[in-house]
Amino acid sequence: MTEQLQEHFDATISRDQRIEPRDWMPDGYRKTLIRQIAQHAHSEIIGMQPEGEWITRAPSLRRKAILFAKVQDEAGHGLYLYSAAETLGADRADLTNRLIEGRQKYSSIFNYPTLSFADVGVIGWFVDGAAICNQVPLCRSSYGPYARAMVRICKEESFHQRQGYELLMTMMRGTEAQREMVQDAVNRWWWPSLMMFGPPDDASPNSAQSMAWKIKRHSNDELRRRFVDMTVPQAEKLGVTLPDPELRWNAERGHHDFGTPDWDELMRVIKGDGPCNDQRMERRRSAHEEGAWVREAATVHAAKQAARERKGAVA
């Protein structure tokens, strides 16, 4: 019986058709997807913090409105993704607890601090750019609800990316101090952004299985290369340098050569020892704990209302 189900599943994957919530799927596939989608959702939620830092300090009302809308979109993306994870039998409250207890991860990038307003633009350009490289192929992921969530999310992400780049363009045309802010932000975010694609292929044990299941469609290194190729001309147009002495065009390969990210740093950040890990987790935990009485009130009120309606229906 299981063999037949497995065969049917394998055939669906090999025909590039979608797996849907009611379809049979191997336990490993379900678990991997729950982990990946949940971590993706957590990243959206934790990712509200570094940019949210600047809502109250945005230097113009237009930028403030753009930033507000972006942070709101991120909360919305978190909601879609938690819903997608729930179609696999996960529970949002449980996933939130796993995040707060440190049992599930979120993207390493959000453990870096936003130290100037240029960081807001650079996050849009690099971080959303990297997210797009990662997520556009996920629109063809084998799991239907995940792929569909990605379609919506990618549209909004590319909008954010353009807005981030436009902020940097405006700042580069501005004062000397503004240009320095941009270059400094680029210097600080470049390597962490390359690390967003995960460890190199030869050190990424789960990738092969995820690619066989067509959950992932491209390897970490492949996506990283694509990001570099996409970003270098944008940096030139902007008039900033990328902080990598080994970066140059390789005409033979038709790609850029670039230096090696500090993988030790990535491992440290993933294990909880980055610049802001503690602060991000503490903030998420305190928001959750301080909101407990509100959620409880909503639950109790809903129960009271339901009881009153039942009583009304009887009378």
Q: Alpha-carbon distance 106 to 306, whole Å?
A: 38
**Which of these, 111, 44, 92, 137, lies nearest to 277 by C-alpha position?**
111
Contact (Cβ atoms closer than 8 angstroms) between residue 144 and residue 19: yes
264 is an interface residue for another protein by CB under 8 A = no
Which phi and psi angles does 217 have, rounded to 5°? Answer: -110, -20
Q: Alpha-carbon distance 34 to 99, whole Å?
A: 13
Nearer to another protein, 5 or 298 (CB): 298
Query: Three-state SS for 248?
Result: strand
104 is an interface residue for another protein by CB under 8 A = no
Q: Which residue type sits at 72?
A: Q
Q: Which residues contact 240 (CB under 8 A, 6 or more apart)?
A: 168, 172, 182, 183, 186
| CB of 180 vs another protein, minimal distance in Å | 11
Q: Tell me, what DSSP letter sits at residue 109?
A: G
Based on the number of CB atoms within 10 Å of its own CB, is 222 exposed (0-12), middle (13-18) or buried (19 or more)? middle
| CB of 304 vs another protein, minimal distance in Å | 6
Number of Cβ within a 10 Å radius of residue 199: 17
The residue range among 143-151, 208-216, 265-273, 290-298 that interacts with another protein, by the rule CB under 8 A, is 290-298
The residue range among 31-39, 199-207, 229-237, 282-290 that interacts with another protein, by the rule CB under 8 A, is 282-290
| CB of 59 vs another protein, minimal distance in Å | 4
**Angle of CA points 209, 215, 217, to nearest 5°:** 90
| CB of 83 vs another protein, minimal distance in Å | 11
Residues within window 184-203 making contact with another protein, judged by CB under 8 A: none
| CB of 84 vs another protein, minimal distance in Å | 14
Nearer to another protein, 41 or 136 (CB): 41
Nearer to another protein, 226 or 280 (CB): 280
Q: Quick one: tokens of 144?
A: 């239907």
The residue range among 58-66, 183-191, 253-261, 266-274 that interacts with another protein, by the rule CB under 8 A, is 58-66
- Which of 136, 147, 149, 167 is the binder for another protein (CB under 8 A)? 167
285 is an interface residue for another protein by CB under 8 A = no
State the residues that interact with another protein by CB under 8 A.
45, 48-49, 52, 55-65, 68-69, 71-72, 75-76, 78-79, 82, 117, 167, 170-171, 173-175, 177-178, 283-284, 286-287, 290-298, 300-302, 304
